[in-house]
Chain A
Amino acid sequence: MDKLAKQLRRDADRIDVSVSEELDHRIAASLRSVSPLDDSPLAVPPQRPALFWWASSLTGIAAAAAVILIVNSSQPEPAAAPGPAAIAAVVPDIDWKSETAVFTGQLQQELDALQSDLKKAEEKVKEDIGL
C-alpha cells in the first residue's frame, strides 16, 4: 500500500460514526413493516411450448385466407362493355350540313402572279444586256 492509500485509509478511520441505538430501533421497525417484493414473474418469462408457435402460425394463415375470400366474394361484378347498337341509341344523330372548303385557289393565283413577275424580270434583264 502506497503513502496516499495509507493516508486515505487512516483518514477514513478518523471519521468516527456508528449507528445509534435509536436509529437501530427505527430501522428494525421499518424493516418489519415491509416485505420483500416478489420478482419471480419478471425474472423468469413464461415458457411457451413449440406447439404454440405452430398453432399461432396456422391460425394466422387461415385468418388471412378467410379475409381474402370474404373481400373477393363481396366485390361487385364488372359491368359488360356496351355493344354498337347501345352506342347508336345513346349518341345523337347529327345532320352535318357543310361544304368542302377550297384552300388551294388563292395559292394558285399567287403562284401565277409570281411566275409572271419572274418572266418579266428575265425579259428586262435580256434587254439590258442586249440579247
Chain B
Amino acid sequence: MYRLLRTETQLIEAAQAGSADAFADLVRRYRDGLLRFLLTRCASYADAEDALQDTLINAYRYIRSYDPRWRFSTWLYRIAIRNAANGRSPDMPVVHELRDEESDPMLQCIADSETENLWLSARRLLKDEVFSAMWLRYAEDMSVNDISIALDRSASWTKVNLMRGRRALDAELNGRNAENEAYG
C-alpha cells in the first residue's frame, strides 16, 4: 500500500502509523547526503555507516514526535549531528587530526583533482559546529533558520559563524589563488 503513497507528508503519516517500508522510502532520498555529511564528521567509513544506521533508526523510533513545522531533512540532520557527537568515543581520533589518506574516509571518497578539496581545508580550519553550519548551508542549501534548528543554536549564532567560516575559507581560497598566480 505504501508504494501508492507519493508525497512526503503521506509517507510520514504512514511511518507514524508504523510502516517501516514507508519510512525506508521516505528517507531514501536523504540517505546519500546524510552519509556524505557523516563521513566528514566520523573517523572511518564504517563509523559513518554505523552513524547513518543509528540516525535512521532513531528517526523512525521518534517519528511520532516529528514536528511538521520543520522540514523533514532538517529534523534528520539534527538527529544525525547528535548521533555523530554522541557516538564519538574519547579514544577516537579527532577527525581534523587525520592526515593520511588511508585512515581518512573523506579523503578516500574525494575524486582526484589538481586542487585540494575546500572542505578538507574547512575541516582543518573550522570548529566542528561551524563546519557543520557551513556544510548545511553550502552543500545542502539549507536556510539559516533550518541550520539553527538542526544545530540547536540561535539564528544570530548561525549567521555570525557562517560569516566567520566564510571569512576563513575566503582567506584560504585567496591564498591559493595568489600562490597559483605566483607559480603560474
A interface residues, Cβ below 8 angstroms from B? 3-5, 7-9, 11-12, 14-19, 23, 26-28, 30-32, 34-40, 42-43
Contact = CB atoms under 8 A, between A and B. Distances in A.
B63 A16 contact: no
B57 A15 contact: no
Contacts of A39: 62, 64-65
A106 to B, nearest CB: 98
Interface residues of B, number: 40
Interface string B96-133: 00000000001001110100011100100000000000
A4 B170 contact: yes
Given A34-B61, A36-B16, A18 B169 contact: no
Contacts of A42: 65
B35 interface: yes
List 8 A-B pairs, minimum CB-CB distance, nearest first.
A12-B139, A8-B138, A31-B20, A17-B36, A11-B118, A39-B65, A11-B117, A14-B111
Contacts of A19: 31-32, 35, 52
Contacts of A9: 138-139
B35 A18 contact: yes
B134 interface: yes
Contacts, number: 99
A49 B138 CA distance: 52
Interface centre among A3, A8, A16 (most CB of B within 10 A): A8
A4 B166 contact: yes
A8 B134 contact: yes
B60 interface: yes
B119 A11 contact: yes
Contacts of B119: 8, 11-12, 15
Nearest to A9: B138
